[in-house]
Structure 1
């Protein structure tokens, strides 16, 4: 056993022993470490020290593990991107965890910083860490700690910045708060919701235990948070490292030949529930009693005073607590903790559903059929409704129908979650370590390409799971800027959705929603106009935001097509609809605010656009962090608004503050960095900082040209901007030639009436003025003005720049001819 694994096992056994009465700890040590004399000696020594309370727990342990830990210790103040270490607060599944804070002054936030040590992970495991943070970033659920940032330090050690939870382990919280049995189960079911969300994203936690479920009070309501996901453990091509904690770990997690999946988390949830309701630590999976993991059997070993205390803390009489466990919850826990994964609940949805049945007064499905129990519970549910037998019978039949439907739905969700997790796990397990070594996009591309190859065959008989996997693949391709591949998977997902559920079904509409921002605007507009009326028919429950969200995205397509008045009208309608439906921090409302702000800025209404977008950024940062990729996208838009308003100094400050987080999140040579530097060049040039602006313009144009080709819209815009800089730098002839080349491309690809064509004509006119071709300049600028007027009418703000250029031309025309030296 490796030093790391030995230390992990020793630490887990020590903490488990400390939770037992002092007189039971030595027997526990012999029972669980007797097969390893060295481990047993170390454990007994630590227990003795704990019992005598003469020294701190970890000081006497002088081992190789301690030396490794000391070598890997990170001093307070050490920087990881914009974050600075405060102190170590623990050790997670893959490394050490530190309390850290924002050190660049952008805002105040304490976070948990996980650093993966080089001695703990080989090249392939480090690559899977890269995949893990991609998957974790996709999870957005109140019961899951949020990822704020990620990167690698100068030595190549990966790090993650996560939400810092100031809470207590769920078992301690329940005891300290004196929660009733019902309150405990309701709290546990909120944990289940977070686990279900992770499973639907293809992520298995693998180490669910009290210490990884922290609970804090939010406005007086207990809110659980899952932390320390361990998907990068135990999936490399070499020896498997068992991720998990004794007592909460499923048996298959100990077997190197057996791959764990979402059912391993179900076992751990059962163990967690065992302790929450029964007050005792669950037995180790290797020592389950013949009757299974049933907390009532362990309660029978306690004396009357201990049972009285446990029952009182759960708001029950001792006899009621034991009978409730024996008749109902024992069966739920025993099924969740079955040694054979196939015998457990097949999904968290089914486990949670059985608990809801218990809370609602129905017999749980895990219990054997017992007519007396069913009758007793039926009577208990209908004490005040003992009227006509016919009505009671009808109600019972209706309830059975609802149960059957609910079970069918739960089973479909179970199949999808298990299939998704197993499929993605299989794909990840096939990655070549030689490819993984570089830890760059090559790994993700290999994973995605392999997933794309296999999804059509391996999930052919599970269409809903196939759709979910294709959605995940498409999102990853989109994040990598590979829209063509993303569209291919979304179109395939639509075909499956239509074949399975029908055209314009809910699943089909979700595919359209994802496609709308990456399709060409003409196609997106046509698809959205057709879809919105069907989405409006789903205006109930959590589905009610889809129609306004699609309308908001339609405004973006209209904007791209130059239909600015239509875009503004649709974005205003969408935003006001979402404002009535969801709270201010809802992601779709924040997206709609961004789209509306952009349309307001296009209309020159900057005094409305800038505050609206700034508020959206602040709300987004509260949940995702100020340097999250989505927040950075909005910050870039805010900087552009400042530039459009001619607040160039404000735009420069915002853009420069983004350089470091954009390099960390997206890479120093990325499309996002290209956009930031292109706009930063503009901010500097407009302030007369011509020399400083040059490298930014050159970087942006060079990036767009080599990534997208010469006729791409992004290449055209960056080339035009570079030509503007050439003019200001005194290279008049070169600027003129570049603007003419840009105009030729724009006429062929965008047409004579596009907004970008108008901007190029304005830049060409300025270059012609500088070269003293005043007649040509007059023609170019008037064509530019005509396009702008067709788009915006006579509104002053959108026409301001072109009118300034015409005023400059008028001044030149009124001056005597001059000899102009062309460079």
Structure 2
């Protein structure tokens, strides 16, 4: 052949094969549309179509009776089938409409035979038998049933299938002008049939519109399992039947003849879905098998929304395709099987999520996207929530205006002023209540109740996070932006409204935003009111609190002190004075001045406890802060004596879900962690974290604080696989919200350092610890307890690298500063002593190590007690050094006093920390010939 004729032949062959996939009545119209006015090409394609029919040994024209008598289709068994007409032809078989007549029982069936060429192929005969075997397993309303099968009188195999009188699914959708949602609903029924086959370990491998017929009553039926196979069979390449596929709907792994899984059917379903929503196949313009195969393997195709639509397509097929559907189709058709949906069930679930206006898993889960889906499916609820928020803000503004008038006009009665103040407080609290519970958690619970068994589909949505963000961005911020314009002539009234909204921002954890708004409030009041006016003091206290919560301890402390200097003129029970005093003490503790902070808290506690009951919210908050200071000072027994009854009082007076109760439990969990009771601490921290997440969302600072404690306990309990992703998420969120240098962020990074060392990533731990120390120095200063702790930790890493002199210098400098700021009896100083002794040991300076270990042991024994885990830690280390120095008598004295009582304990009664300590002690004694 010359080049031109060769090209014509290839073109004709491609058109003939493409036309053969269509119903016979549509083939030549398709050919004429593609060939245009090329009469010679049309004639050649027609000849090829006739040749394809001849290979089946049957006439081409459907209107002619088939050249078979009823006898030629008679089975050896007493079953009689009479051929009526030919229905179609597949890769290896020919299908006829036939009637079955057995003793008066008449039934129309689809009778399938091997074509003439396939009868001589052992592989195709085997596959035909396999189809019968597979269909016998499948009883599903969406799959054409196997009715009969066997051998004809002449020995030819046959299958009698349920005759499905219907149309191809794509033609049905066009003729019925189904809209997008109707098409997806119909497609979901196909998914159910394919999923049923997969549950029976069968993959279809040839899913296409021609194999999905829709009955007159609108029910789709999946046909032709001729090339299906069991999942546990050998790959196609081993059976020699890899070419038995429809290329336009084949997955990349089918084209490349690789081993197949259910992901191949997921891909083919994606192509069918693409065709249903876009009105055309993804690679429809590619007609050569080579180019089509290359395109499938590359995975490079336009999403349905960008696929060109022909004028011939129906209005429904030309309708815009939503981004969600684009994402679903693209995920189902990913080039790599592992990147597609895990199964047909997951594909169907995402389509149902689209139909129900829920976020689909195929799209990136951005807050804006989730919020959009949330609003769309809850239009009435969101509208009601916005209306409530607007009405609350309006009422708040009116009340504040009247309150300002009451203060400006002394003629108004004091009782009226109190009423207005209560109204403002009530409306502010209502707005704070709307934020998470009404807009997030409550709606989430309603969604889960409606979904029932499918509630897991929304478990990762984060309703409370969305509600909090929506309240900040769309309600509070909107109101704040309007204040300057609407209250320009009443700046003090505007400041009061701004302060109320800023308090809402504090409640939902938007500390940085609250700081900016409160600074504006303070600027207005400082300019227009006397310095000692209660309104000025109120703004100062709120601003200082927001600064402290955001980690800006120095600024918070300075503003608290400025407010307290003016508040001293108020009565001892005045709430502003109390708030300034307790806030200053908290800021002092956060700044590292723990001892004076504790003294201030104790004095304030003594004064308030004589005036208020133990259940007073302000007194309970002060005591929680006092416990936190005691914990940081290492006075664990005193802390426990306060926090356990306080938690009980909170639970009894306020209930299990009240914020004060949860804070008390979180403080107790922190104390338990510090006491090495990691299992109890973990359980309690999980409970509090779950409650805070329900109310505020996962990314709220309170929830992150609790989850950070969960992670710290997991690390201590060596549950690293769970701890690592949790820590990574916490650090990422805290960095995004507050920056790398924020103290809470650095605290989480410190826990990550501990995890890295426990998993032997010393290089990563050292690098991270160096960055933590630098940030601590920048933010907190060189003598802050957290900075000194970070400095001592870095010394340990330097010692591990063999840099003993540098490590010893860092550690001894840290110890001197710790003793100066924390006192001689703080447990952290004993830990630094232990570190110095270990540096001496690693440097080979055993005598120096012995002396320092002995000092650490004596201090821990005196302050913490004989059987404290840290005391026992010092004892075992001193024992080992004494043995290495051959000072056996002294070593035995240590053993008898500390180690033998530990070994004698029942391991079942010990927590994880003490069990590890006991096991290590047993190993150490055995190593030195002192086996217990």
TM-score when normalising by structure 2: 0.44
**For the pair shown, which has the larger CA radius of gyration, 1 or 2?**
2
Q: Which has the higher contact order (CA 8 A, sep 6+)?
A: 1
